[in-house]
């Protein structure tokens, strides 16, 4: 397969105020291919000075962009959606190189999902100003202003679009700081913004490491921070926002549970759970990393999970037969292996995978698909977000016990319920303390709210709920 062009991989300029400019430091940061461990490309090493320039550019553009008719903003969003769709193969291949997701899935998900999400916002932008009257009051909505968007590496373009699209639809301007591990698609998004004629300063892209992110979080010229990442960093972002009484939206970690009730098709439910958990080598915030199964069918479920895990084809992400690629970095691999080692020490039974590299793998940040059984609910493997291809199988003694296990977590991002009885499954789903639940194989809905309870975050993304995060509301009382 043809790889990304050199100009896509080697970025020497930031996108600020509609111009491509050098970082103040003049330095660059390397981006590595996690499957080969070789340098893939580089991006500018932006810092506080660059963030300051980007915020100033975004601030200068707020008035004109907020005053742009919603129908015109919708046309820009539609043009961006179409441009993303036209470059789906390029995007999928780029993300496959950058984070290691197998190219077959990267083209479908990493390219298809942001195209779909961007495509939902033209209509939502035009619906934004529909008149709402409550009694004698007229309700007006206005854009919040300058948005600082900080995105992670695991779904780099999707996470950027999930913030940029609603912010632009609302009439906000954006400074986007992508993860230093996977920043390349953010620059591709800037290319497309320039291609469709998005006005200068409306979307600014500054790559950089911790200094750039901290400068954006703490900048007094930013009206809102939208952050996706770990709960630990989310607390820091929330603290800064609280000190400034500034709007914040946080999509953080998860330790989601899939509840398999005693009447479900066990083979189908186990396969669905393992496949979902191991998507993107387990580097997905909504991964169902706790599979909670009926005690009477525990051994059968464990064996089914072993077979499913050992069915993954681990290897070169650019091979269309590969179904699992590497982790994103050496540090992430070491972290995941640390959890595996701790689970073994704690007495969990290793059923598949483990600490050894997958067969035939000699380079790259790979971890074998791993299944643990005989897991105590208090073990770290059952409580901590691992962000790797590791699933633990827990036993429940009925619906009430299954719900108790699911809710016994500091997180509440996602979950699933499998049952032959949809109404029974719905009853269980309503008792789960989590922001999102899939019932009996329910699929992704780009218009439904996305976000968590408890330590999984604040606020919502996607659809109307995501758009409303970027708006301020005024009620005008009439006589």
The answer to whether 128 touches 467, Cβ cutoff 8 Å, is yes
Torsion-angle region of 175 (φ positive above 0: left; ψ -120 to 50: alpha; else: beta): beta
Q: Residue 385's Cα: distance from chain center in Å?
A: 14
The residue with tokens 């490309």 is 41
Segments of 22-97 assigned E as strands: 28-32, 39-44
Active-site residues: which are they? 251, 285
Three-state secondary structure along 46-59? ECHHHHHHHHHHHH
**Confidence (pTM):** 0.96
Q: What is the DSSP string of 326-352?
A: --S-HHHHHHHHHHHHHHHHHTPEEEE
For residue 478, what pLDDT is reported? 86
Q: How far apart are CA 150 and CA 302, in angstroms?
A: 39
Structure token pair of residue 78: 């539609």
User: Quick one: which of 192, 6, 232, 162 has its CA closest to 88?
Assistant: 192
Stretch 388-392: mean pLDDT = 98
For residue 147, what pLDDT is reported? 98
Beta bridge partners of 143: 471
Q: How many CB atoms lie within 10 A of CB 322?
A: 21
Q: Residue 140's Cα: distance from chain center in Å?
A: 31
- CATH 3.40.309.10 maps onto the chain at 257-446
For residue 131, what pLDDT is reported? 74
SS3 275: helix
For residue 479, what pLDDT is reported? 85
Stretch 21-25: mean pLDDT = 97
Angle at 397 between CA 395 and CA 403, to 5 degrees: 85
pLDDT tier, 288 (very low <50, low <70, confident <90, very high otherwise): very high
Share of the chain above pLDDT 70, in %: 99
Instruction: Look at domain 257-446 and name its CATH class.
Output: alpha beta
The answer to whether 170 touches 145, Cβ cutoff 8 Å, is no
Q: How far apart are CA 6 and CA 31, in angstroms?
A: 13
Name the helix (H) or strand (E) containing 457: strand 457-458
pLDDT at 1 over 70: no
CA dihedral 207→212→213→216, nearest 10 degrees, is -110
Structure token pair of residue 49: 């000075």
pLDDT digits (tens, 9 = 90+) for 189-244: 999 999 999 999 999 999 999 999 999 999 999 999 999 999 999 999 999 999 99
pLDDT tier, 132 (very low <50, low <70, confident <90, very high otherwise): confident
Name the helix (H) or strand (E) containing 371: strand 370-373
Q: What is the mean pLDDT of the chain?
A: 96
Q: How far apart are CA 252 and CA 338, in angstroms?
A: 21
For residue 3, what pLDDT is reported? 63
Please state, in angstroms and as integers, the Cα–Cα distance from residue 156 to each residue in 10, 22, 365, following that order.
Answer: 17, 22, 18
Q: How many CB atoms lie within 10 A of CB 191?
A: 18
Domain 6-252+456-477 sits in CATH 3.40.605.10: yes
For residue 11, what pLDDT is reported? 96
Window from 8-22, 130-144, 313-327 with minimum mean pLDDT: 130-144
What residues have CB less than 8 Å from 431, skipping those under 6 apart? 403, 407
Number of helices (H) and strands (E), helices first, in the chain? Answer: 17, 22
pLDDT at 2 over 70: no
User: Quick one: which of 323, 329, 327 has its CA closest to 309?
Assistant: 323
Stretch 94-102: mean pLDDT = 97
pLDDT at 129 over 90: no
Structure token pair of residue 472: 């301020």
SS3 295: helix
In the chain, % helix, strand, coil (3-state, to 5) comes to: 45, 20, 35
Share of the chain above pLDDT 90, in %: 96
Give the phi and the psi of residue 263 in degrees, each rounded to 5.
Answer: -105, 5
- CATH 3.40.605.10 maps onto the chain at 6-252+456-477
The answer to whether 332 touches 343, Cβ cutoff 8 Å, is no
Structure token pair of residue 191: 């290319």
């Amino acid at each position: 397969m043809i790889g990304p062009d050199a100009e896509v991989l080697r970025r020497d300029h930031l996108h600020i105020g509609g111009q491509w400019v050098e970082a103040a430091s003049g330095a660059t940061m390397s981006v590595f291919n996690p499957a080969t461990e070789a340098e893939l490309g580089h991006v500018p090493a932006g810092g506080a000075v660059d963030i300051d320039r980007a915020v100033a550019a975004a601030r200068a553009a707020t008035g004109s962009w907020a005053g742009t008719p919603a129908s015109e903003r919708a046309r820009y969003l539609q043009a961006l959606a179409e441009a993303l769709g036209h470059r789906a193969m390029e995007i999928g291949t780029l993300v496959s190189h950058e984070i290691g997701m197998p190219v077959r899935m990267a083209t479908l998900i990493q390219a298809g999902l942001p195209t779909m999400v961007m495509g939902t916002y033209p209509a939502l932008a035009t619906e934004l100003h529909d008149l709402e009257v409550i009694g004698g009051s007229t309700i007006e909505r206005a854009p919040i202003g300058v948005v600082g968007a900080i995105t992670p590496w695991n779904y780099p373009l999707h996470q950027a679009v999930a913030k940029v699209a609603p912010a632009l639809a609302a009439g906000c301007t954006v400074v986007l700081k992508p993860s230093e591990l996977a920043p390349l698609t953010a620059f591709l998004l800037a290319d497309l913004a320039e291609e469709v004629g998005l006005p200068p300063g409306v979307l600014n892209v500054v790559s950089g490491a911790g200094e750039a992110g901290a400068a954006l979080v703490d900048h007094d010229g930013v009206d809102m921070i939208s952050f996706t990442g770990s709960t630990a960093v989310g607390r820091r972002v929330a603290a800064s926002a609280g000190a400034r009484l500034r709007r914040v939206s946080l999509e953080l970690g998860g330790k989601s549970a899939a509840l398999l009730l005693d009447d479900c098709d066990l083979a189908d439910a186990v396969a669905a759970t393992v496949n979902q958990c191991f998507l993107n080598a387990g580097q997905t915030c909504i991964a169902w990393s706790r599979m909670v199964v009926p005690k009477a069918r525990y051994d059968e479920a464990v064996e089914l999970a072993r077979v499913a895990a050992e069915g993954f084809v681990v290897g070169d992400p650019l091979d269309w037969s590969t179904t699992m690629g590497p982790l994103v970095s050496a540090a992430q691999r070491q972290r995941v292996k640390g959890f595996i080692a701790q689970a073994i020490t704690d007495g969990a039974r290793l059923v598949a995978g483990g600490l050894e590299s997958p067969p035939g793998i000699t380079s790259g940040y790979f971890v074998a698909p791993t299944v643990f059984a005989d897991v105590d609910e208090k073990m770290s493997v059952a409580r901590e977000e691992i962000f790797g291809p590791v699933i633990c199988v827990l036993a429940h003694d009925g619906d009430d016990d299954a719900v108790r296990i699911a809710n016994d977590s500091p997180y509440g991002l996602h979950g699933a319920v499998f049952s032959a009885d949809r109404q029974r499954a719905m009853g269980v789903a309503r008792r789960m303390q989590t922001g999102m639940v899939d019932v009996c194989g329910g699929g992704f809905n780009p218009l439904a709210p996305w976000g968590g309870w408890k330590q999984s975050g604040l606020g919502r993304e996607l659809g109307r709920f995501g758009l409303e995060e970027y708006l301020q509301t005024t009620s005008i009382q009439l006589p």
